[in-house]
Amino acid sequence: MKHALRLTLCALALGSLSARSQETPPGAAAGPRIYDAQGRPATFEQVLDAAAASEVVFVGEIHNDAGAHQLELRLLEGTFARLAPNANTAKDARRLVLSLEMFERDVQAVLDEYLAGLIQERHFLAASRPWNNYQTDYRPLVEFARAHELPVVAANAPERYVNRVGRLGRDSLKALSPAALAWLAPLPYGVPSAAYAAKFNEVMAAGGPGGAHGNPFLLDAQALRDATMAHSIAEQLKREKRALVLHVNGSFHSEGRLGTPEQLHTLRPQTRMLVLSIVPAPANAQPDAKQFVGLGDFVFITEAAATGRF
């Protein structure tokens, strides 16, 4: 079932967003529009201010939205620039950390070796199972981190174990070795909230691939990803208490502070979190900002067409 759920969520989100759009008035400015949690226009500077005051910034994307990937690099660069002037003393320093759904926890050592310059990129790519759109969409983030000596967290659960839960249920993980379990959130991992379960089941009922919406274990498989990413972030904050983690994931994992943010809240209730949602819309459309209230603390509306690379 690798990528099947992600592709379904992407397709349904893109279709829903197209239906929400209206025609753009003549002369309207192109480029991402930004709205705050109440649907009011906001600025990129306001987003950076809020990010700098947070411990974890969730950036939710549609995986084949080219505009989202450009924006993620801009957010990474902007947040890094905001933190740098404040690092006047070792006591005041805050380190920016990039965290990615797109790499699984069992390749962390390979990722670290590449960031440290110990191995060549071709060996890193051969051993780390990058997504199909890594070169075009996520490599710029990793290379920025590498150039500025920023940690990168391979945050996700290995797909083979997510697949096992999707086929056999969460209790099937008990058969794994301690070494395998080390790549996952501690068992028993968090149960999805009622709101998240309802949202997930609605999406699956609307378009689950091959009848996947009838599989009783898929929600627990999705929750394993959420819980493991939350655990990865919490571990990083435990290692670096003043870190600011910029975590990139599919929008379904973080919209409305559901999924990964709520799993992180369970693990670390005091965490200061900011949720950003990036929503694609046709270039000739003017979405109604009120339709996006509740998706995040800030919502970006991009005007780039889907790339089809994912």
pLDDT digits (tens, 9 = 90+) for 114-172: 999 999 999 999 999 999 999 999 999 999 999 999 999 999 999 999 999 999 999 99
pLDDT at position 84 = 81
By percentage, how much of the chain surpasses pLDDT 90?
75
pLDDT confidence of residue 20: 37
Q: For residue 3, what pLDDT is reported?
A: 53
Does residue 90 contact residue 242 with C-beta atoms inside 8 Å? Answer: no
Percentage of residues of the chain with pLDDT beyond 70: 82
Contact call for residues 161 and 180 (beta carbons, < 8 A): yes
Helix (H/G/I), strand (E/B), else coil: 65? strand
pLDDT in tens, 227-256: 999 999 999 999 998 999 999 999 999 999
pLDDT of 18 strictly over 60: no
Q: What is the CATH number of the domain that holds 84?
A: 3.40.50.11550
Q: Which residues of 128-146 are buried (b: 16+ CB within 10 A; e: fewer)?
A: bbbbebbeebbbbbbebbb
Residue 299 lies in a domain: no
Whether residue 109 is contained in a domain is answered as: yes
Confidence tier at 101 by pLDDT (50, 70, 90):
very high
Domain contains 206: yes
Is pLDDT of 75 > 90? yes
What integer is the mean pLDDT of 262-290? 89
Q: What is the pLDDT of residue 30?
A: 52
Tens digits of per-residue pLDDT, 208-231?
554 455 789 999 999 999 999 999
The rounded Cα 293 to chain-centroid distance in angstroms is 19
Residue 285 lies in a domain: no
pLDDT band at 93 (very low <50, low <70, confident <90, very high): confident
Segment 49-59 shows an average pLDDT of 98
Residue 23: predicted pLDDT = 33
Indicate if the pLDDT at residue 305 is higher than 80.
no
47 band by pLDDT with thresholds 50, 70 and 90: very high
Q: Which residue has the higher pLDDT, 281 or 277?
A: 277
Average pLDDT, the chain: 88
- Neighbouring CB atoms inside 10 A of 24's CB total 17
Q: Are 124 and 138 in contact (CB under 8 A)?
A: no
Is 116 part of a structural domain of the chain?
yes
Beta strands in the chain (DSSP E): 33-36, 56-61, 96-104, 152-156, 244-250, 273-280, 298-302
Q: Considering the domain boundaries, does residue 298 fall inside one?
A: no
Total structural domains within the chain: 1
pLDDT at residue 137, rounded to an integer = 97
Range of the domain at 192: 4-18+43-280
Name the pTM for this structure. 0.89
Tell me the β-bridge partners of 245.
Answer: 56, 97
Residue at 136 is within a domain: yes
Within a domain: residue 269?
yes
